[in-house]
Amino acid sequence: MRRGSWKIRIFIGLAIVVFAFVQRCSNKEENPYTGREQNINMTSDQEIAIGLQSAPEIAQQYGGLYPDDRMQSLVDAIGNKLVNNSIAQETPYQYEFHLLADDSTINAFALPGGQVFITYALFSQLNEAQLAGVLGHEIGHVLGRHSAERIAEGAFWQTISTAASVGADAGDIVNSIGQNTLLKNGRGDELESDDLGVLFMIKSGYDPFEMIKVMEILKAAGGPDRVPEFQSTHPDPENRIEKIKEAIVKYKDQN
């Protein structure tokens, strides 16, 4: 009986794994803006809804919006300029740019669907071209559908973990594999967004070499011991500079 029960558990576990992989294959689609094949399990409308729903809570975590309409208007103007001069305008996303009141946390990020945020702490250290580089990078995350891709990957590994825990006591191992994969994809997301950010800067008339200066600002913000919030979600700026230089050469030759 015990042996039969064990066989049933293995069968159920394998069935769940097969289901997860079939579902993952059926979710494959090519991003029309980057040409990259991705595992996505939601529509652009769902991405927009998630971003709009999450935006107010996210803003509150950073002290709300910065109380200066002139500063916010500058962020809006640069963000919209980047969108209107790039393939971003062809996407269904609703790009909105938010200057957060937090004056101590160096950070910038994007929610799915077009909600882009930058803290005053980072904003206050940038010139216009550098701000364009940061916002262009975050627009790249939206256009690249990176959040949607991570959500789909997370759901896939959750299903695999369930199968492992049913078939054997290996849930933690599979969880670890899944987390490592997500981290790897995250680093790839950053490099893809850097690449797109350079392209958006060039299309909008900004000096793309200012993106390298942004990396230097982020590195300096960490100091000898402290790691800025930006680096907790992004690779070390030093590791990104060479890729940014390659992107500048690539897109300069095309324009």
The pTM of the full predicted model, rounded to 2 decimals, is: 0.77
**Which pLDDT tens digit goes with each residue over 179-189?**
343 334 367 78
Q: Give the bridge partners for 109, in sequence order.
A: 117
Instruction: Give me the number of domains the chain comprises.
Output: 1
**Which pLDDT tens digit goes with each residue over 7-52?**
555 545 455 545 444 555 555 788 888 888 887 878 889 889 888 9
**Which pLDDT tens digit goes with each residue over 100-146?**
999 999 989 998 899 999 999 999 999 999 999 999 999 999 999 98
Which pLDDT belongs to residue 14?
53
Which residue range is the domain that position 85 belongs to? 2-254
Highest averaged pLDDT of the listed ranges 171-175, 238-242, 246-250: 246-250
> Out of 23-27, 89-93, 169-173, which region has the weakest mean confidence (pLDDT)?
169-173
**Which pLDDT tens digit goes with each residue over 191-231?**
899 999 999 999 999 999 999 999 988 888 765 444 444 44
